[in-house]
Structure 1
Amino acid sequence: MADMCAERVEQAVAGAVALLRAAADRDWDGVRAGTLEWSCRRTAEHVAGDLLAYAGQLAGRAQEAYVPFEIVLDEGTGNAGALDVIGTAGALLAAAIRTTPREVRAFHPYPFRSANREGFAAMGVAEVLLHTHDIALGLGLPYEPAPELAEFVLTRIFPRVRPGPGHWRTLLWATGRGELPGRTQVTEWRWQNDLVLPAGRLVLQGVTPAAAADLAAGGDGGFRWLAGGPYEGTRNAAGMLLKAYEKGVHRPEFGMFILVRREDGRAIGGMGFHGAPDEEDRAEIGYDLVATARGHGYATEALRALASWALARDDVSALLAVVEPDNLPSQAVVTRAGFRRVSEDGGDSGADGDTGPLAYELASAPKR
C-alpha cells in the first residue's frame, strides 16, 4: 500500500489555503464559522494550532500528554498571514510524517491514547477539511475537497462509519455537519485511532479499513512483511473486516491485528476476532503466522496478550478458538495460552467419518 500520508496533508492544506486566500480581505472576526461558536478567524487559528501540535507530537515522540506549547500569531497578523501559518504548519506536519517510522506512536487522547503517523495525518486532514468547510460556510464560499481526501480520513479514523453515497457527504454527516438519506442525524461524534497492544517480543497493531482493503486486494496493508507474508488467512480475515466495515457493523476493537516484531518492525502474521461478542458475551478468535515465523513462540505470546486484553473487558466473558484436529501446533498454542478443549470428540463426524474441528475456550474470572 503506497504511503500517501504526507501527500494527503499537503493536498488538503493547499486546497484550503487557495480557497480561503481569495476571501482574505474580508472580515473574518465578525463572522461565525458555519454552525460553530467560533469566528472564521478563530477557526483558522485553530487549524494552524492543531497542525503544529500534531507535528510536535510526532517529532517529539510525546508519550504521556500533549507537548505543552501552542501557536500564537504576532499582533496585527491579517487573514493572509494566518493562511501563511496554516501552510507552514501543514508543511511541518508533512515533514514530521515523512521522517517518522511507521511503528512509532505518540500521544493522542482518543480513544486508546496514541496514534501513528497515519493517524496523525488523517486527523490533520480532517481538521483542515472540516474547518475549511465551516469557514467557507460562514463566508459564503463553495467548498468540496477531492473525494480521496475524505476517503483517506474515513477509512483510517472513522472505522465505525458505514460508507455512504459520496465520501465527502459521508464525512460531513459523520461529524454532524450534514444529512444522509436513511441515517439519523449525528449530534455527538469522535474519530477513533487504531488500537495497539504490547505482546512481549511483538506489538499487535490494529488494522484500519484502508489497510484491510489493501490486504484483501493482495497488497501489504502498509506493513513490512517477513518473507512469505502475508499468509492467506490474514488476507481472508482482512476481507471479512472490509465486509463488516461496508455493512456498518465493524467494531475495530474486535477486528484484526497484525503481529509486528519489535526487533525489526517486520510483520509476521495476523490475529483477531471473527466479530463482536455474541449475546452470551463470547467472541471467537483466530490467527495465522508466516511460515518462517512459526515455532518461535510468537503466536502464544500474541494470543496471551490479546486474550488478556479481551477478557478484562466487561463485554467479554469467554473466548473461543476453533482448531482443525490435524493442526497439532495450533492446538499447542491455544493450550499454552490457557484455553481448554470443550468439544468431547472433536465435534460431529461428517458423512465420510472425518472428525470436525476442535473447540477450545478460555473464560474470564467472574466480574464484579
Structure 2
Amino acid sequence: MKHLIDLDDFSIQELDQIVHKAVEIEAHPEAYYGKLSGKILGTLFYEPSTRTQMSFQTAMLKLGGQIIGFDNPQTSSVSKGENLKDTVKVISNYADVIAIRHPSEGAAKAASLVAECPIINAGDGGHLHPTQTLTDLVTLMHEKGHLDHLTIGLCGDLKFGRTVHSLIKAMIHYPGNKFILISTKELTIPDYMKKIILNSNCEYEEISTLEEALPKLDVLYMTRIQRERFESKEEYLKQKDVYRLDTQKMRLAPEDLCILHPLPRVDEIEIAVDDDPRAVYFKQANHGVYARMSLILHILEQNTQTSIKGEIYPEKICSNSRCITQSETYLKRYFYRDKDGVMCCSYCDAHE
C-alpha cells in the first residue's frame, strides 16, 4: 500500500497524473460516480477543520464510498488516553483508506508505520499539508494552464504555514519557478525549507511588504496568522494585522494575478477583494473536492510501498517540541541526513 505523507512520496509524473485526472473528473464527474462503491474512508481529525474534512467526505461520497471517523478527539477513545498507534491500528482495519489531521508534526508519518491501510496526511501541525497542495496545483492548472515559469508570492505565516511548505516542495519540481517570501522576521520560512529551495536551483527573494512584492507576481498565496501555533496571545497579536490585502493594494497587482488562500480567512484579505476576478480562493476550495477524488482513486490503485527514511538512533531525541515523538514516546527514533549531512528527524524533518 502507498501512503501520502509528503508530496515527495510521489514522482513528478504521478503528481501530473493526479492533477490532470482531477481536471478530467471535474469536467466529467458523472463518469466517476460509484467508482469506489463498497469502499470506506476513515477521517481521524484531531484538529478542527471545515474544508479539508468536508471535501474528503464529499470526494468519497461522490465516488460512491462511505465514511467513518471523528472530527473531535474528545468524542473518541482519545479522550480516555488512547495513543495514536492504537487508534490508527484499530480504525485501519475498518477502513480502506484513512485521512488524518493532527496538531503534532510528523503524526501522519507515525500513523503510516502501524496502519493496515493507506494513510493520507490531511495536515500535521505546522509541518505539511500535501492534499491542500494538490488542490493548489489543480487550481493553478485551471487558472494558468501550466505549473512552470511562475513567480509565486507567499505571504503571512511562513514559519508555521504547512500549506506554504508543501506548495514550495511541489513547485520546485517544475522549471523556471521563483518564490517571493513575504513575512516578518519572526515568521520567516524555516531554514530547512530555504535549503530545499536552494538545493533545487530555484530562486527566492525575501521581502517585508506586500506593496513591494505585488507588481512582480503571477500568483499570490495569502495565509492567515495562525493563533493556534503561538505560545502566547501577546506574540500572536504582534503579528496578526501586519499583512492585509485590500482593494487599494490590488491596484499594484498585474491584471493576470491569481490570488490563492487555503482558508479559513480571518482579516488578511479585505472582503471587497472577493469581487475581484483575480481572487480565486473560493474556486480553489471547490477544486479541492476533485483533487481529493483523484488522489483517493490513485492511492487505492497502487500496490507500491512507502517506507520511512533514515535509521534508528535509540538515544537521540528530536529537538522540535511540536514533534509527535515528544508525546508518543514509544515511537522508534528515526533520523536521516540531508544533502548537507545535517541530521534530521524522519517524522517532522526538523534539523538537529
* Bin for the TM-score computed over the shorter chain: under 0.3
TM-score normalised to the size of structure 2?
A: 0.25
Quick one: higher RCO (CA 8 Å, sep 6+), 1 or 2?
A: 2
The structure having more radius of gyration, on CA atoms, is 1
